[in-house]
Structure 1
């Protein structure tokens, strides 16, 4: 089983390594409560086909990576209230520690620099890699993510309710129904999923791993990190921001705000795209990520 312990944070992470190790690396970081397999195999294959080594991994507290058994997360409402009055809540771990995990994985795999690509919470983690570890980035791509600015438009009620809804039980059918409900409520309005394919993918995910306690702890880390606007001004890595114009969970304004506060960032928005990675957009998204990474590599080779 491909697990590795990060030398800096001491966390055991499960990962997959695809493509030629001699090629430049794209490191994929997934979002809140999501296993690395939410990065579609087709997207990984497309990026490998573009000439990159591609690594995806389970964040701490999810999938097959190390869990924080017994650690208590404050309720989101109480945490927000305390933050507003300047009394930070105690959280099991920081979002910055999750960024340190990503860098630690690179170190353990002897990767000096990588093109770091994050989706949703993974985009926030990628941003923090750019803020705290600029020397480890070739480029940064923030997908369907945000700055943490509290004044931005909130998620659609149905999307947030589906994401944080309590599980009816741990029976397989209830878990699949729960996953499909999330997918329906956060998915792309322009690219509705094929029901059979969606059920097959959700069932596969459920059978790989189910760990409900991880989500509230990861959510606590997001809330604790707060607004990154001022910190994003220090990002020096060439940055691409990808966002769906129909995203019901992290509104388009989140992507726009991210691009606005990272110097020189390029923003690409896609009509009909929500908070998922539909098969119809795989080639387009892989093309954007690969083109961005290649443009950075070309510029680095040009004489001063």
Structure 2
């Protein structure tokens, strides 16, 4: 993991997998999620498909720069992402975003279209209107703060329970490990709340989605309690060069049994863009 500063002065922490000479594929995380949430095994399997995989901490989470004053929007997060590519000397990349990261990915494609080769939008939405579980998100952010590592892990497991897939067992062992790693790296609930505010401060992207012209694969689960799959159906209607897959039994997570299919779809979409 390495810290780098974008041209606008934002410090971001990132990590990579695979051959730097392979086409770059950048993973964007969701609300309050450290880049570690893109599991190393998942990243390595993507790299095995011929990509140089990059993951990073968004601002206000993990080891990236904090913005205690808040007041930013998803456009600022998209600018951070474009700035990361610039700082790394990468003209353009295949972009994969999950949840809030998928919202940032849309914004990146709209505001910085030359930086995006292809898009993979994973259980995300064009606006907060589709946050079917907004009450669950708000409740999660207003719980009593963890006072130590054990409490932080317990709270994280409780929070992630709403993301579970009805058709697949949730990997509790991995989530417990991840919760501890995130606590050890940086425990900052205030940063998560500022990221949530950025969602509310950002305009609806629906009227602009037809401007996205790169090959796009849209993935969602019919068991997602946080973001309605209707959001992905609408994005598919509005993004001309898009393909939609709704996975039966998948929630707001990437169940390991579905990795081969998901990775294949990301790869095939990238191939379409390269062609």
The TM-score range, normalised by the shorter chain, is over 0.9
CA distance in 1, matches of 2:30, 2:266: 17
For the structure 1 residues 281 and 167, does the alpha-carbon distance in structure 2 shift closer, same or farther, using more than 3 Å as the test? farther
Cross-structure match for 2:4 = 4
CA distance in 2, matches of 1:153, 1:10: 32
In structure 1, stretches of 5+ residues that fail to align are 73-91, 300-304
RMSD of aligned Cα (Å):
1.6
Cross-structure match for 2:152 = 175
Pick the structure with greater CA Rg: 1
- 8 Å CA contact retained: 2:141, 2:189: no
CA distance in 1, matches of 2:214, 2:273: 9
CA distance in 2, matches of 1:126, 1:237: 12
Cross-structure match for 1:81 = none
TM-score normalised according to structure 1 size: 0.86
Give the alignment of 1:1-304 within 5 angstroms: 2-7=2-7, 9-69=8-68, 71=69, 92-148=71-127, 150=129, 152=130, 154-155=132-133, 157=135, 159-160=136-137, 163-297=140-274, 299=275
Cα displacement string for residues 217-271 of structure 1 (whole angstroms, at most 9, x for unaligned residues): 1111111113111111111211111111110101111111222222221111111
- 8 Å CA contact retained: 2:72, 2:201: no
Q: How many correspondences in the alignment? A: 275
TM-score normalised according to structure 2 size: 0.95
Greater Cα shift, 196-205 or 269-278: 196-205
CA distance in 1, matches of 2:139, 2:259: 25
CA distance in 1, matches of 2:24, 2:192: 28
Cα displacement string for residues 191-215 of structure 1 (whole angstroms, at most 9, x for unaligned residues): 1224333322322222222111111
- 8 Å CA contact retained: 1:123, 1:146: yes
